[in-house]
A and B are shown apart, each in its own frame.
Chain A
Amino acid sequence: MNRIIPPKHANSIMNVIFWGVGILAIAILVLVIGYLLYVGLPQVNLTFLFTDPIDNGAAGGIWPSIVSTFYITIVALVVAAPLGVLAAVYLAEYSGENTFVKTIRFATETLASVPSIVFGLFGLAFFVVYLQMGFCILAGGLTLALMAIPTILRTSEVAIETVPQSYKEGSMALGSSKWQTVIRVVIPAAIGGITTGIILGMARAVEETAAILYTVGATTTVPVSLFDGGDPLPLHLYTLATEGISLPNAYGTAAVLVILILVITFSTNYLVERYTKKMMGR
C-alpha cells in the first residue's frame, strides 16, 4: 500500500481539521446571533415592544405581534401537549410491538417530516376554508399544533421509556393499578424529558412561519378573540424584510425573536436540570 502521508502525520492533520470544524460551528452561531443582536438590540426599547405598528410596521412597535405569538403558541400547546404526551404514554406503556403500533410510529415520523409549507396548505384547506374559520389565530394555532405533536410525542416517549422498570415494579408490588403507576410514578420520573418535549414543540410553534403564512392572516392590530387575525413575530419579520418596509424595525423584530427562543430553551434546560437533581437527591 502506498502511503502518501505517514499515519502519524495524518492523525495530526485530522486533529487540526476536527478542531477547525468544531470552531467553525461555534463561529457560525456566534456570527448569526451576535450580528442580529448587534444590529437589532439598539432598536429594541419599551416603546418598540409595547406600541402598535404604524403603516404596516414602517414605524412604531410590535406589540400586536408579541400578543399574536403568545396566543397562537398557547392554542398550539393546549392541543398538542395533551395529545402528544398521552400518545407517548400509550406507545411506551400500553402497546406491544405490532403492525398497529408500527403504523402509528411511521405516521408520526411522516408527520415530523412533512414540510411546514404543506402544513400551511392543509391549514388553509381544512381550518380556514373547510371549517370556515377564516384567517385567524385559531386556524394558525391549530396548524401549529399539528406540527408540534410529533416533536412532543417522540421526546416524551423516549423519556417515558427510560424510566427504570424497577420503579414500575415497586409501584405495582404495592398494589397500584397500571394507570396509578403511570400517573404517580412513571410520569413524575419522566417529567423532565416530557417538559423538554413540550418546550421543543412550543419553540417550533413560536418560530414557525411557513405554516402560518396562509392561515393566520396578517392583521396588524392586537387580536382580541381567537377568530381575529394575527401577525406573529416571524411572519411580521418576514413581511418587514421582504417587502422592504423598514429595515430597522426588521432588525428589532429579529432580535426579539432570537432572544425569545434563546430564553425559552435555556431557561427550560436549567429548570429541568434543577428538578432532576432535586429528585435524584444530588
Chain B
Amino acid sequence: MARNWEEFFVEKILLIAAVSSVVIILAIIGFVVGQGYTALGTIGIINFVFGLIWNPDYGLYGIFPLIIGTLSVVAVSLLFAVPLSILGAMFLAEVAPRTMRRILRPTIQTLAGVPSVIYGFFGLIVLVPFMRTHFGGSGFSILTASLILTVMVLPTILSISEDALRSIPVEYKEASLGLGATHWQTIKNVIFPAAIPGVITGVILGMGRAIGETMAVLMVAGNVPLIPTSILSPVRTLTANIALEMGEATGLHYNALFATGIVLLVIIVILLLIVNWVNYRQRVTIGGGYL
C-alpha cells in the first residue's frame, strides 16, 4: 500500500510540473495584457495599430511604422533564407556525401547556437560599415538587418525542412529514379512536393524567430520609427521598440510598450495556430489517402 501512495504522489508531482508550462504562459499573457490594455484603452486600438507616428514625447503612440519595420525586415530575410534553407536541406538530405554531412550538420547547429547579441555585434562592426561603404547611407538598414536575420533563421528552416525531406519514403524516390528521372528531377518533382507541409512548418517557425528577434536587429536596423521608403532605409521593429525605450518609460508610455508586447504575442499565437493547422491537415490528407 505504501508503494501505491508513493506512485500517487509521484504522479501528482509530475502533473504539477507538466501544468507549469500552461501556468507560465497564462501568467505571461495575463501580466503583459494586464499592463498593456490600459494603453490600448486610452490610445484606442485603431490609433495604436494604425497610427503613423510613434513619438512618446508628444504623446503619439502609433506602432504602424514599427509593424511595417518588422514586416519588411522579416520579409526580406525570408526572401533570402527560404531558398537557401530549402536548397541546404535538399543538399543535406539527398545530395551531400557523408563527410560533407558530418561537417555541415554541426555547422548548422553551431549557427543556431551563436548568441543573438554576437550576431548583432558582428553586424555592427563588420556588416554595417561594409554596407555604408558599398551602398551609401548610414549602413543601418532593412537590408543589413535582413542579412543578419537570414543567418539566424536559416538553421531553423533548414533543419525542419531536412527532417521533412528525410521522412519521405525511399520507395517514392526509387520509383522516380527507376523511371529514368535524374536525381534533381526526383527531388524537384517527387521528394520536395511530398515534404511541403514540413517545409511550411519550418518557414513559419523561422518567421516566428525572425519576428521575435530583438538584439541583432536592434544593433543593426537603425531604429528610426518611420515607414521605410527603400530597402536601405533604417527601420525600427516592434521588439527593438520595447528594448530601446523600456528603460526610461513611465506612465502611458510604459503601458504602451506592454501593448506592443501584446501585438507580438498575438502574431506569434496566430503563426503557431497556422503551424498546427498545417500539420493537422497533413495528417488528415495522408490518412485520407490523398498522398
Consider the complex of A and B and state whether they touch directly, i.e. have CB atoms less than 8 Å apart.
yes
Name A's B-contacting residues (CB within 8 A): 7-8, 10-11, 14-15, 17-19, 21-22, 24-26, 28-29, 32-33, 35-36, 39, 82-84, 86-87, 89-91, 94-95, 103-104, 106-111, 113-122, 124-126, 130, 146, 149-150, 153, 177-179, 203, 206-210, 213-214, 234, 237-238, 241-242, 247, 250, 254, 257-258, 261-262, 265
- B212 lies within 8 A of chain A by Cβ: yes
Q: A238-B117, A257-B115 are in contact. Are A179 and B96 (CB under 8 A)?
A: no
Q: A83-B20, A115-B264 are in contact. Are A7 and B32 (CB under 8 A)?
A: no
Expressed in whole angstroms, the Cα–Cα distance for A269 and B157 within the complex equals 22
Q: A22-B96, A265-B110 are in contact. Are A104 and B215 (CB under 8 A)?
A: no
- B268 lies within 8 A of chain A by Cβ: yes
Q: A21-B84, A21-B88 are in contact. Are A113 and B117 (CB under 8 A)?
A: no
Query: By the criterion CB–CB under 8 Å, are B239 and A257 in contact?
Result: no
CB neighbours (8 Å) of A35 from chain B are 122, 126
Q: Which 3 A-B pairs have the closest CB atoms?
A: A115-B212, A207-B115, A86-B17
Expressed in whole angstroms, the Cα–Cα distance for A237 and B110 within the complex equals 20
Q: Categorize the interface residue count of chain B.
A: 35 or more
Expressed in whole angstroms, the Cα–Cα distance for A203 and B110 within the complex equals 11
- B104 lies within 8 A of chain A by Cβ: yes
- B48 lies within 8 A of chain A by Cβ: no
- Which secondary structure characterizes the binding site on chain B? helix
CB neighbours (8 Å) of B247 from chain A are 214
Which residues, 12 to 39 on B, are CB-close (under 8 Å) to A?
Answer: 13-15, 17-22, 24-28, 31-32, 34-35
Expressed in whole angstroms, the Cα–Cα distance for A43 and B135 within the complex equals 31
Query: By the criterion CB–CB under 8 Å, are B258 and A121 in contact?
Result: yes
Expressed in whole angstroms, the Cα–Cα distance for A58 and B213 within the complex equals 28
CB neighbours (8 Å) of A262 from chain B are 110
